[in-house]
Amino acid sequence: MIVDVNGLRGDFPLLSSGVVYLDNAATSLKPRAVIEAMREYYEEYTENVHRGMGRLAQRATDEYEGAREAVASLIGAKPDELVFTSGATASVNLVAQGLSWRKGDEIVVTRMEHHSNMLPWVRASRTHGLRLRFVELDEEGRLDFRSLEEALGPRTRLLAITQASNVTGVVNDVKSAARIAHDAGALVLVDGAQSVPHMPVDVRSMGADFLAFSAHKMLGPTGIGGLYVSEGARGEISPPWLGGGIVSDVTGEEYALLEFPHDMEPGTPNIAGAIGFGAAVRYLARLGMDAVLEHESRLTDVALRALRDVDGLRLLGPWRSDRRLGIFSFAIRNHSVDEVAALLSEMSGIEVRSGYHCAQPLHTRYGFRGTTRASLYLYNTEDEVRLLAESLGRISAILGRSGPGRATDAPAHIGGSKD
Ligand SMILES: Cc1ncc(COP(=O)(O)O)c(C=O)c1O
């Protein structure tokens, strides 16, 4: 199947404003089907879930659990393996706080993690007196598997690894990493925030124990996401938060929890969000994740070829489209990455992001003090990608050969400077 971009662009109300939206790694646009599903909940059957016998409560519960089924199915999981959380960050924190850590445990994280898959482990290691070890990256920004093997050992309790970097777009071979980690007796948490929206993901073939992801990066609303927990890992975590809606029996000091995953969702959940999330994954499933990946890979190819011609552009990550998703973080000589982002918006209506993108250690590893980041999704076109490169060419010429160097004045060895 092929993505009919021109046909589907009409589904996204914000695109009619003429914006060239290239900030998809931050958050995606929402199709009308998602907005409509949430409107329906608020206007036609607002009620709480899992609590009432009334018609509205039944429908709300059915739609909420239907969304769980749809989201689980997209990643090859069973509904009772999926916890709704407020997003990838909450999913990682749930595991970091829900695991019963043992004395002497070690946690292994990679140098390419988003802060959301790093800081919860830093704090867990401090709180419980555990050792935190880092896996290093090679010159192209890819995971160094030798370093991974060195970091893992008999004491490793958990490996936290992203499937795709939100800065370089590099896709990790998480299946091999999970196998090696499991051989060492460790659990594996995969951060799927940037992979689940853009490629087919199957938790079973991946072999992860936990997979964290967010709806808002995959056409869904903000404030909702998922945590897949394999049946085998279920017994390793207990609910970090307690309250209403997760108990079957309470007798004062004693209480009995509901079965997983309901014991992990205390309080009134984000019902409208879950329903919107369900609508988003149904939209993606109709297109087919293979088709989404293929479309974005083609655009990535076009983008890399066009960006090579931008004078002074230094790209973080590999220049090969088979090694990355459609995320391009770069600096233009020593010019301010914020200024480049502002000029793109002002001159061409292109929305991108600038800064560290919540991955400061990754930038530091390659000597970048921030980057401007353009990132693609299924509604982007070749014309938009070409406009990005042309606009950057003009910005490079306007800013000239030297500049104030406010945000970046670093060498760009990663992926090879094309200067
Ligand atoms: C790789 C990665 N992990 C985790 C997150 C955190 O996601 P959220 O802010 O939706 O919780 C992000 C968001 O940018 C991300 O790109």
C-alpha to C-alpha distance for 61 and 367, rounded to whole angstroms: 50
Q: Which domain holds residue 339?
A: 5-30+288-399
**Cβ pair 91, 302 in contact under 8 A:** no
412 within domain boundaries: no
Tell whether 89 and 170 lie within a shared domain.
yes
Task: Determine the 3-state secondary structure of 404 from DSSP.
Answer: coil
Atom of ligand 1 nearest to the CA of 357: 14
215 within domain boundaries: yes
Which of the listed residues 242, 259, 286 is the one where a domain comes to its end? 286
**Residue of minimum CA distance from atom 9 in ligand 1:** 89
> Which ranges constitute the DSSP H helices of 308-417?
337-348, 360-365, 382-399
What is the per-residue pLDDT for 322? Answer: 86
Counts of helices then strands in the chain (DSSP H, E): 13, 15
Ligand 1 centroid to residue 173 C-alpha, Å: 19
**What Å distances lie between residue 203 and 13, 32, 81, 207, 347, CA to CA?**
33, 29, 10, 6, 43
Tokens of 364: 């530091």
Tell whether 300 and 203 lie within a shared domain.
no
C-alpha to C-alpha distance for 370 and 114, rounded to whole angstroms: 14
Per DSSP, what are the bridge partners of residue 161? Answer: 190
C-alpha to C-alpha distance for 118 and 15, rounded to whole angstroms: 34
Burial class (CB in 10 A: 0-12, 13-18, 19+), 134: middle
Tell whether 272 and 300 lie within a shared domain.
no
Tell whether 374 and 268 lie within a shared domain.
no
162 lines ligand 1 (CB under 6 A): yes
Tell whether 371 and 278 lie within a shared domain.
no
62 within domain boundaries: yes
Tell whether 55 and 152 lie within a shared domain.
yes
C-alpha to C-alpha distance for 89 and 103, rounded to whole angstroms: 25
168 lines ligand 1 (CB under 6 A): no
* Cα dihedral 116/121/126/131 (nearest 10): -150
Q: Which of 94, 109, 214, 218 to mutate to test the pocket of ligand 1 (most atoms within 8 A of CB)?
A: 214
Which of the listed residues 265, 286, 307 is the one where a domain comes to its end? 286
What is the per-residue pLDDT for 1? Answer: 76
172 lines ligand 1 (CB under 6 A): no
Tell whether 302 and 238 lie within a shared domain.
no
Tell whether 217 and 85 lie within a shared domain.
yes
Q: Which of 194, 201, 219 to mutate to test the pocket of ligand 1 (most atoms within 8 A of CB)?
A: 194
Strands 225-229 and 247-251: unpaired
What is the per-residue pLDDT for 400? Answer: 87
Task: Determine the 3-state secondary structure of 46 from DSSP.
Answer: coil
64 within domain boundaries: yes
C-alpha to C-alpha distance for 29 and 24, rounded to whole angstroms: 8
Which of the listed residues 262, 286, 310 is the one where a domain comes to its end? 286
91 lines ligand 1 (CB under 6 A): no
Tell whether 63 and 143 lie within a shared domain.
yes
Tell whether 17 and 51 lie within a shared domain.
no
C-alpha to C-alpha distance for 343 and 353, rounded to whole angstroms: 12
What is the per-residue pLDDT for 413? Answer: 34
257 within domain boundaries: yes
**CATH, residue 204:** 3.40.640.10
Atom of ligand 1 nearest to the CA of 113: 1
pLDDT in tens, the chain (419 residues): 789 999 999 999 999 999 999 999 999 999 999 999 999 999 999 999 988 889 999 999 999 999 999 999 999 999 999 999 999 999 999 999 999 999 999 999 999 999 999 999 999 999 999 999 999 999 999 999 999 999 999 999 999 999 999 999 999 999 999 999 999 999 999 999 999 999 999 999 999 999 999 999 999 999 999 999 999 999 999 999 999 999 999 998 999 999 999 999 999 999 999 999 999 999 999 999 999 999 999 999 999 999 999 999 999 999 998 889 999 999 999 899 999 999 999 999 999 999 999 999 999 999 999 999 999 999 999 999 999 999 999 999 999 876 554 434 443 333 333 32
Tell whether 278 and 367 lie within a shared domain.
no
Where do the DSSP E strands lie in 195-288? 210-214, 225-229, 247-251, 254-257
100 within domain boundaries: yes
What is the per-residue pLDDT for 412? Answer: 38
**Cβ pair 318, 292 in contact under 8 A:** no
Burial pattern 56-77, b for ≥16 Cβ within 10 A else e, equals ebebbbebbeebbbbbbebbbb
193 lines ligand 1 (CB under 6 A): yes
> Mutual orientation of helices 271-287 and 289-307 as an angle, nearest 10°?
80
Tell whether 204 and 273 lie within a shared domain.
yes
Domains held by the chain: number:
2
409 within domain boundaries: no
**CATH, residue 352:** 3.90.1150.10
What is the per-residue pLDDT for 402? Answer: 60
30 lines ligand 1 (CB under 6 A): no
Q: Which of 27, 116, 163, 217 to mutate to test the pocket of ligand 1 (most atoms within 8 A of CB)?
A: 116
- Would you name the residues annotated as active-site residues? 358
166 lines ligand 1 (CB under 6 A): yes
416 within domain boundaries: no
